Structure 1
Amino acid sequence: MKRSSYVQLSLATSISLAIAGCEGPQDTYNIEQKFRFQSVQECVNQKFPVDVCSDAYMTALAEHRRVAPVYDRQADCEADFVPGYCQTDSAGRYVPQPGGFELTASGAVSQAQMDSARAQAAASGSSLDGLLMGLLIGNLMSGGGRYYSEPVYRHRDGRGTFSTSTLGRRIEQGASFPNSQQSRYGQGYSRTTSKPISTSAATSRGGFGSQSSARSGWGGSSSVGG
């Protein structure tokens, strides 16, 4: 897995109602990008604020404990994920091991910022996506912007090769994990994501930068809590 991978960029134009001075309404662009990381350090290495990286890691870990499929048999777990990839929880059940976290960051960019980024990309041959990523990170560092995170898991795709994705993406592609306890006992699975978190909220509660578990990366233990 790469240290971080750019997955998606979407631009949705909206009209801002705020009027500064004598200027009329300005276009703003809502930018969203997805990034994959295996550890907090990888996230920080890509210049994301450490509080955001730590909080995203811990949020993904909490999501894993909340929504990961649980199996009575190791073979059933490995059939849905990867052989040798499932762990036992405190109750002796089998669950897939998280392979990192996906951080989705979003924020508003003004028309002036967008024009400047486009001009810079054209003049220097730089990637517009990379410049927009910089604007997103700048928003997060200044206390603006929003993000959410989800755990990612390894599995075999339709071609039989190893792939990595969130549970939500697999569900959208038709996965139902029929041998899991959730499906067997009537709970089933639907598309779920973490609630978006504002950067200011994460900063105000101090993030999780001091937590040893946030520094250790995924897969540091032979078992996880259920």
Structure 2
Amino acid sequence: MTDGPAPNRTPTFSEWTGDRMLDDTRRRTAHMHSYLTDVQRAVGEVSLTELSDVAAILERAYTAGRTVFTCGNGGSAATASHLAVDLSKNTRLPGTPPLRVMSLVDHVPAITAWANDVGYESVFSGQLTGLAGEGDVVIGISTSGNSPNVLEALRHARELGALTVGLLGPTAVRAAALCDRWVTAPAESIEEQEDIHMMIAHLLTRHMREFVRAGGTVPASAQGSGR
């Protein structure tokens, strides 16, 4: 009896060595280093003045007992949801009133009802009609600044007397025109812009936690010169 051909077998990691592995590692790390370098550069170019202006709006909303609403699409929807839970939970301290925050991206029945009955551009603004009012804050997150439902949310928020904030990409001029204040993620790729938006979400959360801890005043550790 003769042996048949050896079956195809994927080499184990320990067997996958030599020049090929070294070359592949170099290519991978070169690409990864380039991405990290680009993100680091963009983070260094985020405007502290823009961040401070947005933080001031959140401070005002907290002090007045108003509600902050967040919205976005795709990856920006995930950021909107993440920002809402962080702002509402991670700023909660014993003996202090809560910061009221609501994500407009998480109510699936409401989103599908508005999309089906009226149009997808109304999925956020439709919710705001019965929820938002004078002095509330609506945060629209969009790298392109062209999402019809985010634009409509910002436009309608102004009609309701709410303040509007944007976490935007560098070319998001349409959304910026509907925002009282905004922060630009000065990066080229969408992935990098979304990374920076998430970093801004965490930065604002930490700032608001310290604001709440300081009794509704800007803590010394949060003060500094703008750029």
Q: Which structure dedicates a bigger proportion of its chain to helix?
A: 2
TM-score (norm 1): 0.23
Higher relative contact order (CA 8 A, sep 6+): 1
Q: Which structure dedicates a bigger proportion of its chain to strand?
A: 1
TM-score (norm 2): 0.23
Decide which structure has the larger Cα Rg and report it: 2
